[in-house]
């Protein structure tokens, strides 16, 4: 039971990390120091998508599920509603490249805005 709970916890943590990778730049606009965590996270997210690699959080979750007896993904609320978001059906390499491009584009726009604000404030 504890391993299943831990696997669900890792799944939620993974979803939060993905959200931070995609939208964390918005937090940087408010608090620039968050960039110290967000830039490496966004680079990691883009790297995983571009290379087709496995995130260590995925490996950890699968390992915990196996230890729990490979309970599957049909049992809990977390598994039923969050797994399709993190592991969508039909995920192809082309979609992964598109997702990586989207992450990069969003973050370049956000950091561009941040640099622009910084330049404007320095010139005053």
Contact, 79 vs 8, CB < 8 A?
Answer: yes
Q: Which domain holds residue 23?
A: 2-123
**pLDDT bucket at 77, cuts 50 / 70 / 90:** very low
3-state secondary structure of 47: helix
Buried b (16+ CB within 10 A) or exposed e, 6-26: bbbebbeebbebbebbbebbe
- Check if the beta carbon of residue 19 is closer than 8 Å to that of residue 101: no
Residue 34 confidence (pLDDT): 95
- pTM across the whole model: 0.75
pLDDT value at 74 more than 60: no
Instruction: Give the model's pLDDT for residue 88.
Output: 79
Q: For position 71, what pLDDT does the model report?
A: 56
CA 59, 65, 70, 76 torsion-angle sign: negative
Q: Look at the chain and report how many structural domains it folds into.
A: 1
């Amino acid at each position: 039971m504890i391993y299943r709970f831990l696997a669900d916890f890792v799944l939620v943590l993974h979803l939060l990390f993905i959200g931070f990778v995609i939208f964390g730049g918005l937090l940087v606009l408010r608090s620039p120091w968050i960039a110290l965590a967000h830039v490496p996270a966004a680079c990691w997210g883009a790297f995983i998508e571009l290379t087709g690699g496995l995130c260590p959080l995925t490996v950890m979750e699968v390992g915990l599920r196996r230890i729990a007896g490979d309970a599957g993904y049909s049992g809990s609320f977390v598994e039923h509603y969050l797994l399709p978001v993190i592991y969508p059906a039909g995920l192809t390499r082309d979609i992964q490249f598109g997702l990586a491009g989207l992450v990069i584009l969003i973050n370049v726009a956000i950091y561009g805005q941040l640099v622009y604000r910084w330049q404007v404030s320095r010139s005053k």
